[in-house]
Amino acid sequence: AQSVTQLDSQVPVFEEAPVELRCNYSSSVSVYLFWYVQYPNQGLQLLLKYLSGSTLVKGINGFEAEFNKSQTSFHLRKPSVHISDTAEYFCAVSATGSARQLTFGSGTQLTVLP
């Protein structure tokens, strides 16, 4: 089984500042890692994914994340945030070769302040 811990439930940051949303996972098998974004009253949108290869992955809207196997982390970063980035962000994990079940963290609310 897998588990995901998102270390910060809320992250306020000023517009144009950098941000890092932290995610740690636990698994006894190899995993795929994901970040999703959820805007108010909407479903989930995939931001980026790590499947294999380069540990630095780039996603949509200028976000990137780095997979660190030794620290079992997959932190999400953006060098300069915008007001429109205000949303809930979820880290998720799936065992490789699984039947596509995702295990999510509890989410981090990113609020970008003017």
Partner 1 sequence: DAGVTQSPTHLIKTRGQQVTLRCSPKSGHDTVSWYQQALGQGPQFIFQYYEEEERQRGNFPDRFSGHQFPNYSSELNVNALLLGDSALYLCASTPVGGGPETQYFGPGTRLLVL
Chain residues in the site for partner 1 (CB under 8 A):
4, 6, 32, 34, 36, 42-46, 49, 51, 90, 92, 94, 98-107
State which residue, 28 or 70, has the beta carbon closest to partner 1.
28
To partner 1, the closest distance from the beta carbon of 93 in angstroms equals 9
Interacting residues of 43 by C-beta distance below 8 A, sequence separation 6+ = none
Q: Taking the complex as a whole, how short is the minimal distance between the CB of residue 16 and partner 1, in angstroms? A: 28
Q: Which is nearer to partner 1, 6 or 73 (CB)?
A: 6
Nearest residue (CB) to partner 1, 48 versus 81: 48
User: What does the block give as tokens for 26?
Assistant: 């636990």
Q: Minimum distance between the CB of residue 106 and partner 1, rounded to whole angstroms?
A: 5
Q: Please, which residue, 70 or 99, has the CB nearer to partner 1?
A: 99
* Contact present, 3 and 100 (Cβ < 8 Å): no
Instruction: Tell the smallest beta-carbon distance from residue 24 to partner 1 (Å).
Output: 14
Half-sphere exposure of 37 (CA within 13 A, CB side): 17
Task: Write the CA distances from 27 to 8, 47, 93, 94, 99, integer angstroms.
Answer: 20, 22, 9, 9, 16
CB 23, CB 103: distance < 8 Å: no
